[in-house]
Structure 1
């Protein structure tokens, strides 16, 4: 057994960095050093560095949440090295990654701002989760009245949020005469670059409107589509790394072997040559983004809630369930895929087949509960727009109405077996009240305007929703799925 560190790298038999990490120089500051970032963006960069390229684009990590300290401390002990385990259905392959060279102590905002001001940093990247952008649920836009943002506006020189820090870093660069960095959002949000631009610009506007206009004119925020299934790390994954690969690693990352990154090529300050390791650079990411959000993320929701109501633990187990698999295939074929515009060079049917294969991968250990998480944030992004798209064309939404009814039924807090469903949403307290009220009054659920908007008032959606919800309560998930599948 080898404890992972720079000193012990030579003792590890698995693939490891082929570059001299002592010669790496920082070029990227990344907020949110979680599993997805380490399995996705850092994995691409590691491959590029192994080709002898991008050694001046090493990564400095940063975080603003108290929970970030644990990851920072764990990685620091390992010299910021970690094991990535890529898993197909038939094999697991491990390699040690080394593009992260430092991680600023969470709370040390003075050092974060100093790093952002360093002209060597040309890209500032973010994976702060879909819920980290201070979006007003009612408007769908950035909420400048949020207390954390208001606090940054009152004290812009010592900000506490990611966006306040980015503004302070850009201000310091302009004052020093340095070109601005590019802000690259890697979160799973439609038009994520545009969302990030609004958050940064509107944060700046609260304390300095003229500087906000400068950011709008001078700073690039490319949109991107990212994709890789990356479950949370538990003791199970740490044990597997020890037993299967002989590495003592307190922060391994397990992921599927599939990976995709489509990115708009707008990096005025320069970027790594990521196209050499499979990143697709395009003029407009929208077609790929809609494909992924509707077919993959929407498909996850289709799988999640019937499986949650049936007490199924793992996603691959849900895919082994004949009813859930048939439900997914029918709703994708009949309603979701037809709502996706053409994507250059992509067969949408083949894309969905790959999605189904990925979800069925037993090695991943992805949980149904993770897919059910945060529906109040995900449904308005991944399901409701597809419903609205179809209603605009006067097309039926029977399957999507059933998906919404399943989510509502799940949020009532009890599965078909009578098992209690633990809170699984930041807004769980409200959702459980609305879901229980909807048992007798389905309109109570659809009245959540921040989720459904005008769609919830459309009888072409509201009527099948109410019918399916009544059937779920009266006959259960199995009988309801059967009714939909049989048409």
Structure 2
């Protein structure tokens, strides 16, 4: 069986116009996949040079396959049908190592056609390293590498205003474009680079903040033999992802035309404020996950898919989303409903086995950031605590008993919470404290919740009632009235 390469598998080849920091699965099944669609269906005509930003030789370079690889996009489509779509990606031309090919890296700045910079260097990538120097070959941090590359471009083109770049980071931090821009300017000042260069960075370059959303499951290790037999070639860089994707870019309106989004309507939104979209994702997608986990797990289920196939648990989650989360969010109702419908479809994806216990990691913090804002907003608006989000809090407290049907399971959270719950549940079991006292102890922790939740009218009382129901009747009977 032949390995992918451009000689044996000839096809389109595009001029290099995009630099991409990061060679990982996510960018390849998200950004490069979208660029490939745009190249095929519009006149974008943009090839990608992947820059490996870290000093490693694993995985091997994409250049071993001439930049070619296959994405397999699978999940439930808009009609609810299971689909699996293989696509040979031709948008990537080559990969270079900034550590092994530093001169080649700097030379990217000399190409007058270069226009876009994408990146995913992990959440820790957009950070400041005080030891980074201009003459390092290369500097260690991504922002320092980018600063050096921008200075190379500025110098080569004598500060030409039309040679700036559109810089679109995909790292999972808030306002990633603004954070990256601030660090580039910080390095420019630290390195005493010319004021004219700093002015050029600010005037000729566009830094965009983004929200990226797609579950990328990467190399399908257990299915490779069968998939390669279907494809008819060997591909060491096979990349799998879910059907759903969303790319929200906070940037100027002209960006849609420059990316040719006016010619091919991908699920890419160019917006002037990313905040409501971030809140929507955290509240609906992440919030539904967090509400679902302790309820479904204690109802005897193990994966998100099993939970969504369970009429009772699915009913609980859908009502929590539509009746208690969406009404307190600040976006058009139709947008929120379509996003929520997509979330439910994603949870049902038969190709992804999402273990509930893996999502349960750091559940206390997740509840505070993902559900509590909607719970409090709902209470404020109606004068009553929202029943399902409140029940989810009771289920979370019950989850930290660490035992299901007589079998213990691992709890992963801050040591402070694990110790505290162990003590509280021991005291509760020994009849030293009542359920309400246990609940009050958890809710009164203002250091964690950023307020004393026992002061929220009706909350502690309802959580204690729900928790008593879970303990006395079991999860199925306790949750039934809310489904």
1:55 and 2:45 equivalent? Answer: yes
CA distance in 2, matches of 1:155, 1:311: 58
Residue-by-residue CA offset, 1:192-211 (whole Å, 9 max, x unaligned): 43344455555666666997
Match of 1:168 among 148, 152, 157: 148
CA distance in 2, matches of 1:466, 1:477: 15
Please list every run of 5 or more consecutive structure 2 residues that lacks an aligned counterpart in the other structure: 428-437
1:328 and 2:320 equivalent? Answer: no
Residue-by-residue CA offset, 1:171-208 (whole Å, 9 max, x unaligned): 44344434442321224555443344455555666666
Paired residues for 1:102-117 under 5 Å: 102-105=94-97, 107-108=99-100, 110=102, 114=106, 117=109
Contact 1:152/1:161 (CA < 8 Å) preserved in 2?
yes
The number of residues matched between the two structures is 456
Paired residues for 1:78-97 under 5 Å: 78-87=65-74, 88=76, 89-97=81-89
CA distance in 1, matches of 2:190, 2:396: 38
Contact 1:194/1:223 (CA < 8 Å) preserved in 2?
yes
Match of 2:168 among 184, 190, 194: 184
Match of 2:279 among 287, 290, 299: 290
**Aligned-CA RMSD value:** 4.2
What TM-score comes out, normalization by structure 2 length? 0.76
CA distance in 1, matches of 2:325, 2:141: 36
Match of 2:344 among 349, 352, 356: 356
Paired residues for 1:18-417 under 5 Å: 18-19=11-12, 21=13, 24-51=14-41, 53-64=43-54, 69-71=57-59, 73=60, 75-87=62-74, 88=76, 89-105=81-97, 107-108=99-100, 110=102, 114=106, 117-118=109-110, 120-130=113-123, 133=126, 149-152=129-132, 158-176=138-156, 177-178=158-159, 179-198=163-182, 200-201=184-185, 214=199, 215=201, 219-266=205-252, 271-277=258-264, 278=266, 279-308=268-297, 312-343=301-332, 346-369=334-357, 371-372=359-360, 381-387=369-375, 389-390=377-378, 393=381, 396-404=385-393, 406=395
Contact 1:113/1:168 (CA < 8 Å) preserved in 2?
no
What SS class does the counterpart of residue 118 from structure 2 fall into?
strand
Contact 2:144/2:184 (CA < 8 Å) preserved in 1?
yes
Residue-by-residue CA offset, 1:266-321 (whole Å, 9 max, x unaligned): 39999432343323333334444433332223223333444455674442222112
CA distance in 2, matches of 1:360, 1:53: 36
Q: 1:111 to 1:266 in 2, by over 3 A?
A: farther
What SS class does the counterpart of residue 331 from structure 2 fall into?
coil
Please list every run of 5 or more consecutive structure 1 residues that lacks an aligned counterpart in the other structure: 11-17, 135-143
Contact 1:455/1:461 (CA < 8 Å) preserved in 2?
no
Residue-by-residue CA offset, 1:120-171 (whole Å, 9 max, x unaligned): 442222234456556xxxxxxxxx6xxxx34438997753122232233334
Q: CA deviation at 1:96?
A: 1.0
CA distance in 2, matches of 1:468, 1:128: 46
What TM-score comes out, normalization by structure 1 length? 0.76
Contact 2:291/2:317 (CA < 8 Å) preserved in 1?
yes
Larger Rg computed on CA atoms: 2
Contact 2:47/2:92 (CA < 8 Å) preserved in 1?
no
Contact 1:331/1:399 (CA < 8 Å) preserved in 2?
yes
Q: CA deviation at 1:46?
A: 0.4
What SS class does the counterpart of residue 290 from structure 1 fall into?
helix
Contact 1:85/1:255 (CA < 8 Å) preserved in 2?
yes
